[in-house]
Amino acid sequence: MPKHLFLALFILLLNACNPPANRQDRIDLKVDSLLALMTLEEKIGQLSLYTSDWDVTGPTMREGYKEEIRKGRVGAIFNAFTARYTRELQRLAVEETRLKIPLLFGYDVVHGHRTIFPIPLGQAASWDLKAIEEADRIAAEEAAAEGLHWTFAPMVDIARDPRWGRMAEGSGEDPYLGSRIAEARVRGFQGQGLGQLNSVMACVKHFAAYGAAQAGRDYHSVDMSERMFREVYLPPYAAAVHAGAATVMTSFNDYDGVPATASKYLLTEVLRNELKFEGFVVSDYTSVMELIPHGVASDTASAAALALQAGLDMDMQAGFYQSALPQLVASGKISKELIDQSVRRILRKKFELGLFDDPYRYSDTIRERTTIMKPEYLDKAREVARKSIVLLKNESVLPLSKNLGTLAVIGPLADARREMIGSWSAAGDWTKSVTLLEGVRAAVSPATKVLYAKGSNVNDDSTSYFQQALRIARQSDAIILAVGESASLSGEAASRSSLDLPGVQQQLVDLIQQTGKPVVVVLMSGRPLTINAMAQRVPAILETWFLGTQAGHAIADVLFGDYNPSGKLPVTFPRSVGQVPIYYSMKNTGRPLDVNSKYTSKYLDVDNSPLYPFGYGLSYTTFAYSDPVLSTASLRAGDTLAVRVNLTNTGSREGVEVVQLYVRDLVGSVTRPVMELKGFQRVSLKPGERKEVTFFLTYKDLEFCRIDGSFGTEPGQYLVFVGGDSRDVRQAAFDLL
């Protein structure tokens, strides 16, 4: 009997005679018994992820890939979904291969699957962790019902340069907010655990520091200090891993001169040894191949060896593992044990998903028909979209009356159905999205006449639509003006050197504003834009991002006062692209700004301050804060500091305020940020109502990367700030002993 068959039978007998009580131990025994049966070619197949093709009918698989599946040379497929299609591919793997190992099916379910929610940056503006988790719970239910086991989300990269288009896909500039959202999204996708038929594996991306791409240019290099990495960029990855994320994806960039896909420091020392990650790591699309143009590998074999030795388990699309690993093993450059280690991690997830018990359990056409775009899912999409809207300015214009005589809806994004669902909208059907124009018409009274004009295109120099827009603007009692970016202008490979409104849209805004009619700008974008002129002249501005399937209804809910806006910015809005990167938690210089002294840190042509700060957002009511009261003036090890503030609704409408807690360490062994977010709460108040809001701070909240590289605290004086954004705060002081 061949040695590997004897070993497999021995493990199976051992398992039968002494079944372990722990589920994970039982899975590990099954993995080991299967691994003992596998040939080297079959093992390498498990490390290979290939894409499904598309045609006008949907996903399709080229015959060559089908043959690879039949040979057991494919472990996973992405861009393959629908119950029928995944069942077809799964049949090839489990009925026409020697060992019948099921495939994994993955897809970019980034902000919804069929029911599309706001882009992640928009969801972050809700500061509502429960709503974000519920959105991804729905996304997981729909995705799993269409045969998917795995989503390539959440993206948890901190981004402080809005020129980088993928800022749209993350949670903004702050590591604390980003970490809490990362945890919520992992819980949303994975639900009660792998193997539940309404859950999918989360994939934390992009590891690591991808959001710090130089010059805001996608795929570019990253250069930062280890301290910056550990204090700002690493925490959201760590939070997602500790929340139980099943997989991690590498980033395209290099870190400290080594591409992440070949970085043993990132993938082994940090991810596995420090963060104790136990799942498997997949490359981003062809990033193993890209080790060659990066200049760290000379050919296919060296690229594959570098990646596997670094700790990369699965090669997405490049095919380098498939073509190079057999010879690398034969030559002794790669050990079979190293390959077994990666195969073991992937097989473990397939067992946890229950695919060996029933490989078709996710490919159920009945469940698919009854799960997609349920009415309650659409209701939740509308709710999350409303919460994501940020009121940037309001000079007594909003909310609009539903009984206006004539209302003009103008702008290239006013009736742009495809744009509503934004970039990375997965299997979302843009034809089912609700436009702003449709939302407005559904909201106003039957007596209100709604006029529409395109005004301009999003991104060209034509002014041919101006006169029609001006004509209906003059006929109207109020104007809703929808401008911003198209969906394709943000997202992957969508970096911009300018943050101004594209095309002739600013000219359109100026033209309409000059009519003297009340104007509300509805701004749609995947990033902060530089809107100084608009902010100075237009009386009301809503930032609505790209809100998804129910965008038009959600915006109308806010425009006409059916919902009081509560969104807060998760990222700073600059005055000028020249200020970038600009973020609230900057460090002081030795010469901080003094407007009366030339030789201090400032620009000659623009103020240092942002146009709108991190955490900013208005409401249709107003809130008043008391000074914070601390439970003690001195915090000792093991103690907790309570920070209490009274919040009062001083307006005439019920509203929700996001109360934010910040801390500043006045003196440290290394320079410290001027403030850092350490807590937030959404508080609902009726007119005139007052509530006491309490935060609790511990030693752990005050840790940082000290001068010796260790994490911990240092004694000294701290300031604590509480307020409605990072600029409008009240403060108190305490000592850390």
Among 236, 233, 294, which Cα is nearest to 260's? 294
| Alpha-carbon span 89 to 97, nearest angstrom | 12
266: which DSSP letter? I
Give the Cα separation of 187 and 438 in Å (integer). 34
Tell me the sheet residues that pair with 661: 679, 722
Cβ–Cβ < 8 Å for 35, 347: yes
Q: How far apart are CA 637 and CA 639, in angstroms?
A: 6
Question: Whole-angstrom Cα distance, residue 166 to residue 489?
Answer: 10
For residue 502, say if its preceding peptide bond is cis, omega within 30 degrees of 0. Answer: no
Tell me which DSSP letter residue 573 carries: B
Cβ-proximal residues to 531 (8 Å cutoff; 6+ apart), any chain: 501, 523, 541, 573, 611
Euclidean distance between CA atoms 623 and 682, whole angstroms: 13
CA atoms within 13 A on the CB side of 332: 0
For the question of residue 284 being annotated catalytic, the response is: yes
Given a contact cutoff of 8 angstroms between Cβ atoms, the answer to whether 92 and 360 are in contact is no
Report the alpha-carbon distance of residue 722 to residue 468 in Å, rounded.
48
The answer to whether 229 and 179 have CB atoms below 8 angstroms apart is: no
- Enter the tokens of residue 296: 């760290």
Helix/strand/coil for 625? strand
CB atoms within 10 A of CB 490: 28
Amino acid identity of 416? A
Q: What does the longest C-alpha to C-alpha distance in the chain come to? A: 90
Pairing mode, if any, of strands 280-282 and 247-250?
parallel
Between the CA atoms of 92, 97, 100 and 103, what dihedral angle is there, to the nearest 10 degrees?
Answer: -50
Residue 320: closest CA among 290, 280, 296: 290
623-625 and 640-649 beta bridge pairing: antiparallel
Which tokens sit at 718? 């701290």
Cα of 715 vs its chain's centroid, Å: 36
- The secondary element (H helix, E strand) that includes residue 324 is helix 320-330
Q: Which of 108, 284, 315, 701 is catalytic?
A: 284
Q: What are phi and psi of 282, to 5 degrees?
A: -115, 145
Please give the positions annotated as active site.
284
